[in-house]
Amino acid sequence: MTNSPGTWPCLTYSDAPAAVRFLVDVLGFEERAVHAGDDGREIAHAELRWPEGGGVMLGSPRTEGLPDVPPGTGLVYVQTADPDAVHARAVAAGADVVQPLTQKPYGSRECAVRDPEGVVWSFGTYAGE
C-alpha cells in the first residue's frame, strides 16, 4: 500500500498498548508502526491502518509538543464494505456495542462500539457524497 493524503484521527489513551490490542484484535485494524516511549511501557506513537484505507494514530499522554485530548475522548467513523464482520468480531469479544447493526435512512448500514477507554468507533458503508 502506498501512502496517500487523507484524514488520520489522533487519539490519546491512558493504556495505549491495550488500545492497540483492542483496535487490532477486536475491530480489525492492522498494526503498521508502534514506537515505545522512553519507559518502554508507554507508546510514543502508533499507526494503525484500516484494511480498506486510512487509519488512526494514537499514543500515551504526552507532556510536550501538541496538546493531547483527554484519554477516552472521541468518536471516529470508519467506512467499510462489511460492517457486519466488524459487529460480529466486537460481539464475539464482548465489546460494548453502543449501536447494533442498523440500516440508516441515508443508505448506510452501521454499527458502533465503545472501546475500553470510552472512544466510540462507528463502522458503516457510507462513503460520503
Give pLDDT tens digits for 39-83.
Answer: 778 999 999 999 999 999 999 988 777 677 788 889 999 999 999
Identity of the residue numbered 38: D
> Which residues, in sequence order, are bridge partners of residue 94?
none
CATH superfamily of 10-62+73-124: 2,3-Dihydroxybiphenyl 1,2-Dioxygenase, domain 1 (3.10.180.10)
Q: Supply φ then ψ for residue 25, to 5 degrees.
A: -75, -35
pTM of the model: 0.88
pLDDT at 1: 46
Asked if 13 and 72 touch (Cβ cutoff 8 Å), the reply is yes
pLDDT at 4: 56
